[in-house]
Structure 1
Amino acid sequence: MRKLKALVRQWSIAQQHYYQPLVDKLQQCSIHTVHDLFQANLDSLVSLTNSRRQIIRAFREQVILDSMAKEASFQPKDVVTFSTGFATLDRSLGGGIRLGEVTEICGTAQSGRAKYVQQIMENFLLAFEQSSMHHIDTTGLFDAKSIQTQLLPRIHCNKAFSIPAVITVLESVGAFQAVDGLPTMIVLDNMASVLDSNWQAGFHECLYISRVFLLSCNIDVTAYNVVENMVQHLITIDEAI
């Protein structure tokens, strides 16, 4: 288990100065490791340390990001992209959406993000004519009727209303990919609905999801977030989450 003190020593001087009082209080409460930190819920940590909720939440999120960075493999590889549908955005992204990376799409309510995600799904299938894709619906609201009819047979729709169910689908997709060998896109719509505000859905299960994503080098993963102003750190390694 990674020690919190050792973890914080790897951060910037400013971060160490800001979080050290909290780390000291956690130590006094016998919370020494990353595992200990996520075994306790946010309310109990606030009570035990007499610290501000915002500071504790920010600290836990930084610990997640750091843990994710350690899990990721940054080996150089050939970059394969497909178009977002917008030339300006493609140029900004260095050619479009990259295979083998996690892409997060989020926006405020009624911003048209659902329609745009469907466009990206179509773009992928048109760009890789032999490939299929997997849509994981965690809300029960996905409707494929607006997608081009000829593309529908290549879209595998799955419903998963908990993190264990999401993991099961991802493992199945990974096994399929290992045999098939073709580029595959996964759309996770959306992670927020299976996580609660105190991260009680399971820190280690979420890290496992990140490993499945990041180690599937030929799979393009689109994490589609439909909750306003919320992002998913665990699957995007992105403070946006």
Structure 2
Amino acid sequence: MECDYHFVPVGEQSLNIVFPEVIDAEENRLIHTLARVLSNTDVGIVATIPAYHTLTVNFDFLRTNFTSLTNEIEALIKSHPLLKDEEKKHIIELPVCYDEEFGPDLKSVLEYGKITFEDLVKLHTKDPYLIYMMGFMPGFAYMGSVSDKIAMSRLKNPRAKVPAGSVAVAGKQTGMYPIEAPGGWRLLGRTPVKLYDPRHPKPRYNAGDYIKFRAISKNDYYYIQKLDLKGKYQLKELF
């Protein structure tokens, strides 16, 4: 894996593998691949937590320690074939209704980019977005990178409530609110799909996946919403 990195101890049972502090798809792909590889080794690793430019590794201190584990990881990074090969993308299509009812910040983003509504929809649905990391709340995906024309900064005064399913941008990032929560991202639309259900903890997407937004009408929004509530709607997977 050709990338600069260093190790930082985090207490007695964890360490961080720190990469250059950038939002970069290739670097993040390597981090997620390394996380999967390490999770399948028998060197005392308990869990891995990938983020934008770090990988946290929790380990069993009765089986290993910082020095031994970093030596093991370095050897693995230099030799494992998966860390050298390009990985196939797992792309999930997510329907979104771009409408002022669901996207109260549409007008301000249009003015920011000096573009039309049609331009905004095309820009936001054109390419798949890499899920760099999960966080903030269950099911919240930090994705990127959006076009500069819609990369408007977050609100100065966050909303007290953002509806579940809201699709938003904040700078070069885009994401979806899986549950109703406070938030300061710019709301562009909403997906009718339930993104998080505590009764079914298996997520519909994971860090390292890609999300491809598909624009739908209001009629389609309510139709898909009914299907999804009955458990009859499956997200389309593009490979």
Richer in strand (by share): 2
Richer in helix (by share): 1
- TM-score, normalised to structure 1, is 0.27
- TM-score, normalised to structure 2, is 0.27
